[in-house]
Structures are given as structure tokens and as C-alpha cells.
Amino acid sequence: MVIECMRSKFNLKSNPPGHVAIIMDGNGRWAKERLMTRSLGHKFGAENFKSITRYCGSLGIKYLTVFAFSTENWKRSSKEVDFIMGLFEEYLNKSLEKFLHENFRVIFLGDKNGFPSKIRDLINRAENETQKCTGMVLNIAANYGSKAEITSAVKVIAQKVKNDQISIDEIDETLISNNLYTSNQPEVDLVIRTGGEKRVSNFLFWQSAYAEYIFTDVLWPDFDSKCMDRALKEFSSRKRRFGGMTVDS
């Protein structure tokens, strides 16, 4: 009922953004403000991730990509990294049934080999078992960096040229796209970054070439469904030109 209301309010049912990406930033500062450890901030952040994911599914968003852990986040203290890995493990262990129930297809964006084998196995299981789900595609970017992703695509393509499987003339934007972790997915329409920083931090360079960006000061654990509605409303008011002209200009 509430969701139906929201849909009609912002005309999301007829026109939801196809691909929304979120840089879930600000867990550490949220915890600090409450005199908690940074790790506890991640715990609350993980809870919020679960509810925003469900909410996006209910709005009819077809692709949701969330930035959970970057290739640079390994630089953090081992205590914090270990805690985050523990959260991943717990989440993956508990969520498979929920993914299937919600009909979410889960895909990991990032280098899985960087994870301990226990987590890698859980990631593979979640991807395999939700392969046939037809609802929202939930991309979880973990050990993800745009630079690493593009580098790995370049290597695969270079190897194919070297093996005479393709010619240099066959390298085009579609081939590059299809060698990214988001292969066969539509480009990103909207990137939301919580936590107040106004930067991209190595996230989806290629896929966001014409995305709209919304930067909000709200720290990730506080970013609730109302904040999401505001972001979607703001998105719907943007005029996208893709280098061309608007119809009314």
C-alpha cells in the first residue's frame, strides 16, 4: 500500500531508473558520532543495505549495484577488514533463501580470488543458485575497482588478439563492455553516493559514462526509503541529453 503510494507519487512504476548504483559510504563516521567502533558502523550499514535492497526490488528497479568493498579498502586495519569479511560471510550464509524468495539474481562484481576460500565458495553458490531468478539483478561490488576491471578486460581481449581469435578491428565498445564484470547489463542511470564525499572512488567508470550523480550528506546507515524516494524524485527531474539535445530545447 505504502509502496503503491510512493510509486504513483513519483511515477516510478511507469518510469523507474533501470540501473541504480549506490556508493554506501559513511559507516565509520556514523559510528564515531555515536561513540561506537567503526566495525559497529559496518554492522548497521549492512542492516541498511538489506532493507534498501528489498525496497529497490519493490519499486521495480531492474538492476541495483552496490559498492560494498573496494580494491583499496584492504588498506584498512586488519581488525576492520576481518570484521567486514565476517559480515560478508554471515550475510551470504543467511541470505540465499531470501534472494530466492525475492526472485533476486545475485552477481558479484570484483576479483573473487582476493577473498578467503570460504567466502569465495559462498559467493559462487549465491551466483549459481540465483542464476535463473528473473526479478531484480543485485550486483554486489566487492574487492571491486574500475581500474582493475578495465585492466582485466584489456588482458582478456589482448590474449584473444594474440591467439588470432579476433582482429584489432573487432575491438569496439560492445566488446569491451562484454568483458567487464557487468557483461550484458545496461549502463548505469543513477549513482547515489552517501556520506558527503563528492568523488567516484574507482567505481563503475565505464558503466556510468552518462549516469546522473546524486551526492548526499546522509551517512549510509541513515539512508532510508524516504532518502531513496528523494533521490529518485531528483533523478526524475534531471534532463539527460547523452551529448544530444533535449526535445524541448
The footprint of ligand IPE (CB under 6 A) covers 23-29, 67-70, 73, 84, 195, 197, 199, 201
- In the bound state, the residue with its beta carbon closest to ligand IPE is 28
Alpha-carbon radius of gyration of the chain? 19
Q: Which does 67 bind (CB under 5 to 8 A by kind): ligand IPE, Mg ion, none?
A: ligand IPE
Phi (first) and psi of residue 77, to 5 degrees: -60, 150
Q: Which does 29 bind (CB under 5 to 8 A by kind): Mg ion, ligand IPE, none?
A: ligand IPE
Catalytic residue (choose from 11, 15, 25, 189)? 25
224 among known catalytic residues: no
Minimum CB separation from ligand IPE for residue 187, in Å? 20
Minimum CB separation from ligand IPE for residue 13, in Å? 29
**Comparison of 31 and 56: residue with beta carbon closer to Mg ion:** 31
**Comparison of 44 and 63: residue with beta carbon closer to Mg ion:** 44
Catalytic residue (choose from 15, 48, 73, 124)? 73
Q: Which does 136 bind (CB under 5 to 8 A by kind): ligand IPE, Mg ion, none?
A: none
Q: Which does 201 bind (CB under 5 to 8 A by kind): Mg ion, ligand IPE, none?
A: ligand IPE
Query: With CB under 5 A, what is the number of residues at the site for Mg ion?
Result: 1
Q: Which does 23 bind (CB under 5 to 8 A by kind): ligand IPE, Mg ion, none?
A: ligand IPE
Footprint on residues 5-64 left by Mg ion (CB under 5 A): 25
CA 246/CA 169 separation, integer angstroms = 33
**Comparison of 16 and 28: residue with beta carbon closer to Mg ion:** 28
CA 77/CA 181 separation, integer angstroms = 27
**Comparison of 122 and 141: residue with beta carbon closer to Mg ion:** 141
169 among known catalytic residues: no
Catalytically annotated residues: 25, 73
